[in-house]
């Protein structure tokens, strides 16, 4: 089955999806790891029953990691102690998995150390021109 965009998924979910009124498993790309995961018919029924309008954006692994990061941030605020965390991400240039000390957001590219140095050199050279 081809991957659908969020608007198609919402329409299918709102209309009961399949021709027989049954929900169908739908593939979605995780916004964090970009891997494809399946939004099952049962999950779609749950979303419909709870009047949730938006399909999931993250796979279960990334959702759990996000929840843990948010809990760590709240704990840091409550205790006043800074929490250090590392997040695994794929380099946008060479696709190697690297760790970064921040949470990548808004679909901006993340680079490994070597590619970051290359990008910084190119950016610095064009800025001087």
For residue 52, give its domain range. Answer: 1-82
| Pair 55, 45: CB distance under 8 Å | no
| Residues 1 and 61 reside in one and the same domain | yes
| Residues 71 and 97 reside in one and the same domain | no
- 71-124: per-residue pLDDT in tens? 888 888 898 887 777 778 888 899 899 888 877 776 788 899 999 999 887 665
pLDDT of residue 29: 92
Give residue 28's Cα distance to chain centre. Answer: 11
CA gap 83, 73 in Å, rounded: 7
| Residues 17 and 49 reside in one and the same domain | yes
| Residues 90 and 31 reside in one and the same domain | no
Which residues partner with 98 through β-bridges?
Answer: 89
pLDDT of residue 68: 87
Tell me: pLDDT of 3 over 50.
no
| Residues 73 and 90 reside in one and the same domain | no
| Residues 74 and 117 reside in one and the same domain | no
pLDDT of residue 24: 93
- 10-54: per-residue pLDDT in tens? 555 555 555 556 899 999 998 887 889 999 999 999 999 999 999
| Residues 104 and 62 reside in one and the same domain | no
| Residues 108 and 55 reside in one and the same domain | no
| Residues 70 and 37 reside in one and the same domain | yes
| Residues 67 and 90 reside in one and the same domain | no
pLDDT of residue 1: 41
| Residues 16 and 73 reside in one and the same domain | yes
The H or E element that residue 98 is part of is strand 97-100
| Pair 121, 106: CB distance under 8 Å | no
pLDDT of residue 49: 94
| Residues 95 and 34 reside in one and the same domain | no
Question: Looking at the 3D structure of the chain, how many domains does it have?
Answer: 2
Residue 38 CB-half CA count within 13 A = 7
């Amino acid at each position: 089955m081809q991957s659908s965009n969020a608007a198609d998924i919402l329409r299918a979910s709102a209309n009961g999806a399949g021709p027989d009124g049954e929900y169908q498993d739908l593939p979605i790309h995780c916004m964090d790891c970009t891997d494809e995961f399946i939004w099952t018919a049962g999950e779609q029924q749950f979303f419909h029953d709870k009047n949730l309008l938006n399909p999931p954006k993250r796979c279960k692994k990334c959702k759990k990691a996000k929840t843990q990061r948010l809990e760590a941030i709240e704990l840091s605020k409550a205790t006043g102690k800074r929490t250090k965390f590392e997040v695994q991400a794929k380099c946008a240039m060479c696709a190697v998995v690297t760790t970064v000390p921040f949470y990548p957001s808004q679909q901006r590219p993340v680079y490994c150390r070597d590619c970051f140095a290359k990008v910084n050199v190119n950016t610095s050279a064009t800025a001087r021109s």
